[in-house]
Structure 1
Amino acid sequence: MEQRSSVNADAGQHSEPSKWRNWSGFWLIGLCNNFAYVVMLSAAHDILKKQISDNTTVPTPASDDLRTLDFSVTNSSNSSRYDCNPVSTAAVLLADILPTLVIKLAAPFFIHRLPYGFRVLFCVGAAITSFLLVSFSSAMWMSILGVIFASMSSGMGELSFLSLTVFFSRNVLGGWGSGTGGAGVAGALLYSVLTQAGLSPRVTLLIMLVIPVAMLISYFSLLVFPPDFRQWQCGEAGSAMRGDSSEERRGLMDSSDAEQEQLEKRTPEDRTTGPLTLTEKLHVIKSLVKFVVPLGLVYFAEYFINQGLLELLYFPAFYLSHAEQYRWYQTLYQVGVLVSRSSLCCVKIRRLWALSLLQCVNAVLLLLAVYYQFLSSAGLVFAIVLYEGLLGGAAYVNTFYYISKETGDRQREFAMAAASVGDSLGIALSGLIAFPVHKYFCSL
């Protein structure tokens, strides 16, 4: 009777209204989780630029409202055939990604000891701290520290919420992916709109403190958790939940996807309860290589393009300035990411290596375009960058969808967290490679 009551409670939890609430909740959480990370790239850059200008004899603009980096103003390599920024944009990228990478490498081995409720509070607190530090920074180290806190919030949130999806119907992965894609467009757009309206970067960041609050509301008020979900208890919550009645729960959760036959194929290990041992975790990591390597390769190629090549693809005869061309490159990339991360409900792509190969072709094509300068217009780059974003977003959501689908119940929570290191590792490596490439081209 108790088992049947539990199953009935889960059936209510996975009813259509609850599924839509959970999908919407994960969409908002994804948006809020990546929002600070995206905004910090622009906001910290503005404030760092102000601090640098305050410490030099170069006259500053009459307005204190510093907007976007203007490549034509900061160019110190006039002898180069490229309109080069003195420092590669990869420098900002590394400051934004390295803390996330460290968290994703280490946290999967101990994060299960921290309840999900406390993880969310940590993410919200780190995001609030990042906004406050950058908005009130009076020295460069404060701005950098603010970017680090934003990176910590995003990294901890990504691996935690990906792990959290195993307690819900698999369609919430589509909501999470779409929300994280929307963060790129919404963050850049909202920051630009507010500063263009006359607000200073400091006031704009203070207004954006509403975003961490929205994450709290989405998590604690919108999501419909399973009745026995351990919100504030430490330990292997997932293993405890997937105990005696995991067969019935998983059947209810996946019935809409017609995947009930997967239940019959599970090994005895999948049905075992209790925490994973270190040996088991290493075995799971080995099985994830086929997912993590293609994902990391996709992100390596696309961020090598974004941070190593796009700033060098400047077309003087085009009607947009260098700064405006670069801004549109980044915006169209984010639009492509948003569209493809929202496509899981319509299209699923199992051949992840194909996406990696196509993204590498993009990188080689644009690398040759920078060197030989055979592209005739920024419009061609706009189309390539939009396509690049589509490939990157598709690789992300399909990677985690198939990890969720093909991993056993007992290993799934750890696998979702561990696999999240793939994109961050690719981004970090691309930032390191972009430095010498930028230096080489600017020396020509």
Structure 2
Amino acid sequence: MGLEGKTKYVLGPAVVEQVEVQQDNTSDGPRQWRNLVGFWFLGLTNNFAYVVMLSAAHDILKTEEGGEGNGTLLTTLVPENGTTPPSVNGSNNTDRFLECNQISTGAILLADILPTLVIKLVAPFFLQKIGYRVKVLLVVGFAMASFLLVALPTQMGVNILGVVCASISGGLGEITFLSLTTFFHHDVVSSWSSGTGGAGVFGALAYAGFTQVISPRTTVLILTVVPVIMFISYFFVLKKPRPNDESVVGNSTEQLITTQPVISLKGKAALILPLLKFIIPLSLVYFAEYFINQGLHELLYFNDIWLSKSEQYRWYQVDYQVGVLISRSSVNCFEIKKLWILPILQFVNLAVLLTQVFYRYIPNFWIIIAIVFFEGLLGGAAYVNTFYRVRKETAPEVREFSLGVATVGDSVGIAVAGAAAIPTHNRLCSLKLKM
């Protein structure tokens, strides 16, 4: 148990010289390992439903509509046998973008991210008034509801509601658990971030693996164990701070970790401006990143290689998620202080891949794989380093609120990218370029 003291902080009412806030700053021993493991699983389970739900809902809705291609938003301009149309050398009528969906996957992304964005915009202003037990139970409840609503035989609207519940759970969970790191050793930020990166890889692999042998509905029902793991991680794995002075004697752990200085609405609004130096770079990185993922990945295919177009797209996603996992786990080994470098590099990736869609000057699939991997590294690095810097540079008395507000950065970038990817993708698909 430790106290913050004699430290000047970037954020806080004026300059905070010394603040006594109960925190667990233990850096070694079984207690710290339990907290690192607990936050890793909280990160994993918080993002797991988000990763799984879209694929599961898409599969189940296809089944309800009578099979592949019936009643789905994504109508692919590909022959029914699934083969890639050969290029016709010398033809003036060859459409370079023949093989692309009429509606971008950005439409699905936008529908999924908006509930999360709304939660992140409004929740930090009132969420501190709610105890962590209640908040965690809400996160677990929405996650469980998302799995059940998508898995159980119901109408389409109910399945879609399941996806919305997953989005609410993920957004509320990110604010809740990142704010919770305020009361633990700073290393748990990296542990949480690593877990969220793991959700991308393990969530996709778990869903793909199970659906090879059982139905999508049964797979999703099995995965209801994920919110149960979240419940166990918070209530039984984490070793929460204990009172150590007379001001908190007799208080429960729940009361202890929710007893923070009351910040007025005006005070909260004043704290947002200095947070923009963290939020804006994160938003820009995520805009470029998700514009690439949802607007360009489908168009970065190579003809006449050992992988089909669909297989190439899936490997791009796996490649990207591996990069995210590695970089989100890296902050304790390699900390990036100049966050503005990351959006510059990510926009370079965007420029390279966008021009590749038009000019096809990159001759090799593996070069694209390397660029997409680097894209994932930058996205994961922006996420973990942003919250690590907020955690270190904000005064203890406003840290909980500041971490909650900063979570809006990635969601704003993703939402704007989804909105921009739709018309851009459709425009690219409509172009009739000569080979």
What is the CA–CA distance in structure 2 between the aligned matches of 1:56 and 1:376, rounded to whole Å? 32
- Distance change (3 Å), C-alpha of 1:193 and 1:70: farther
- Aligned match of 2:96: 81
**Residue segments in structure 1 that go unaligned for 5+ positions in a row:** 59-67, 240-273
What is the CA–CA distance in structure 1 between the aligned matches of 2:345 and 2:423, rounded to whole Å? 24
- Aligned match of 1:189: 205
Q: CA deviation at 1:192?
A: 0.7
- Aligned match of 1:280: 267
- Distance change (3 Å), C-alpha of 1:223 and 1:109: same
What is the CA–CA distance in structure 1 between the aligned matches of 2:395 and 2:45, rounded to whole Å? 29
For the residue of structure 1 that corresponds to 2:337, the secondary structure is coil
What is the CA–CA distance in structure 2 between the aligned matches of 1:359 and 1:295, rounded to whole Å? 11
Structural mapping, 1:6-45, within 5 Å: 15-45=28-58
What is the CA–CA distance in structure 2 between the aligned matches of 1:56 and 1:365, rounded to whole Å? 32
Asked if 1 retains the 8 angstrom alpha-carbon contact of 2:148 and 2:221, the reply is yes
For the residue of structure 2 that corresponds to 1:319, the secondary structure is coil
- Aligned match of 1:124: 140
What is the CA–CA distance in structure 2 between the aligned matches of 1:440 and 1:11, rounded to whole Å? 53
- Distance change (3 Å), C-alpha of 1:414 and 1:230: farther
Q: CA deviation at 1:11?
A: 7.2
For the residue of structure 2 that corresponds to 1:84, the secondary structure is coil
Asked if 1 retains the 8 angstrom alpha-carbon contact of 2:282 and 2:409, the reply is yes
Q: CA deviation at 1:137?
A: 4.3
1:399 maps to 2:386? yes
For the residue of structure 2 that corresponds to 1:437, the secondary structure is helix
Moved more, 158-167 or 42-51: 42-51
1:211 maps to 2:232? no
- Distance change (3 Å), C-alpha of 1:29 and 1:297: same
- Aligned match of 1:368: 355
- Aligned match of 1:237: 258
For the residue of structure 1 that corresponds to 2:211, the secondary structure is helix
Structural mapping, 1:383-422, within 5 Å: 383-422=370-409
Asked if 2 retains the 8 angstrom alpha-carbon contact of 1:230 and 1:237, the reply is no
Structural mapping, 1:256-295, within 5 Å: 274-295=261-282
- Aligned match of 1:148: 164
Asked if 1 retains the 8 angstrom alpha-carbon contact of 2:175 and 2:403, the reply is yes
Q: CA deviation at 1:71?
A: 7.8
Q: CA deviation at 1:52?
A: 3.4
| Higher normalized helix content (fraction of residues) | 1
What is the CA–CA distance in structure 2 between the aligned matches of 1:203 and 1:57, rounded to whole Å? 22
State the identity %.
53
AA aligned to 2:191 is: G
Structural mapping, 1:198-347, within 5 Å: 198-228=213-243, 232=254, 237-239=258-260, 274-347=261-334
For the residue of structure 1 that corresponds to 2:142, the secondary structure is helix
Asked if 1 retains the 8 angstrom alpha-carbon contact of 2:24 and 2:183, the reply is no
Show CA shifts across 1:117-155 (max 9, x none): 111111111111111111124332122111100000000
Asked if 1 retains the 8 angstrom alpha-carbon contact of 2:25 and 2:185, the reply is no
Q: CA deviation at 1:50?
A: 2.2
What is the CA–CA distance in structure 2 between the aligned matches of 1:57 and 1:433, rounded to whole Å? 27
What is the CA–CA distance in structure 1 between the aligned matches of 2:200 and 2:369, rounded to whole Å? 17
What is the CA–CA distance in structure 2 between the aligned matches of 1:372 and 1:315, rounded to whole Å? 13
- Distance change (3 Å), C-alpha of 1:329 and 1:365: same
- Distance change (3 Å), C-alpha of 1:307 and 1:379: same
1:50 maps to 2:37? no
- Distance change (3 Å), C-alpha of 1:15 and 1:380: closer
Aligned partner of 1:377 among 352, 364, 370: 364
Asked if 2 retains the 8 angstrom alpha-carbon contact of 1:95 and 1:147, the reply is no
Q: CA deviation at 1:381?
A: 1.2
The count of residues paired between Structure 1 and Structure 2 equals 393
What is the CA–CA distance in structure 2 between the aligned matches of 1:183 and 1:230, rounded to whole Å? 32
- Aligned match of 2:155: 139
AA aligned to 1:215 is: M
- Distance change (3 Å), C-alpha of 1:93 and 1:177: same
Please, what is the CA RMSD of the aligned residues? 2.6
Q: CA deviation at 1:73?
A: 6.0
Q: CA deviation at 1:69?
A: 10
Q: CA deviation at 1:47?
A: 1.4
Q: CA deviation at 1:86?
A: 2.5
Q: CA deviation at 1:114?
A: 1.2
Q: CA deviation at 1:48?
A: 2.2
- Distance change (3 Å), C-alpha of 1:328 and 1:168: same
- Aligned match of 1:173: 189
For the residue of structure 2 that corresponds to 1:112, the secondary structure is helix
For the residue of structure 1 that corresponds to 2:101, the secondary structure is coil
Asked if 2 retains the 8 angstrom alpha-carbon contact of 1:71 and 1:322, the reply is no
Q: TM-score, normalised by structure 2?
A: 0.85
For the residue of structure 2 that corresponds to 1:317, the secondary structure is coil
Asked if 2 retains the 8 angstrom alpha-carbon contact of 1:70 and 1:322, the reply is no
Asked if 2 retains the 8 angstrom alpha-carbon contact of 1:108 and 1:418, the reply is yes
- Distance change (3 Å), C-alpha of 1:55 and 1:326: closer
What is the CA–CA distance in structure 1 between the aligned matches of 2:25 and 2:408, rounded to whole Å? 34
What is the CA–CA distance in structure 1 between the aligned matches of 2:390 and 2:31, rounded to whole Å? 24
Asked if 1 retains the 8 angstrom alpha-carbon contact of 2:24 and 2:241, the reply is no
